[in-house]
Structure 1
Amino acid sequence: MKMDNVMKGARDVGRRNTLLIGILALSAAANLGQAVALVSARQTILVPTLTEELTLSGGGVSRDYLERLARDTTFVFLNRSPQTEEFFDKQVERLTTPETYREIKTALIAERLQRQESRASQVFYPNSIYVSPKELYVEVNGRLETMNTREIIKSEDKSYGLTFERQGSLVLLRSFVPLAKNEEKGANVRPKQESDLQQ
Structure 2
Amino acid sequence: MPTVFRPNTHKVLLMNFLKMLTTIVIVIIILIILEFTTTILHTIAPLHWLIITIVIIGLIILLLSQIAAKKVQYAFFDDKLKACNSILFLFKKTKNVSYQNISQISYDNTGFFNRYFGTGTIILDLSRQGAKELKMKRMDEPAKKMERVQEVLRSFQLKTQAQYTEKHRMKDVLDGHA
TM-score range, shorter chain: under 0.3
TM-score by length of 1: 0.24
Report which of the two has the higher share of helix: 2
Higher RCO (Cα < 8 Å, 6 or more apart) = 2
Would you tell me which structure has more strand in proportion to its own residues?
Answer: 1
- Taking structure 2 as the reference length, the TM-score comes to 0.26
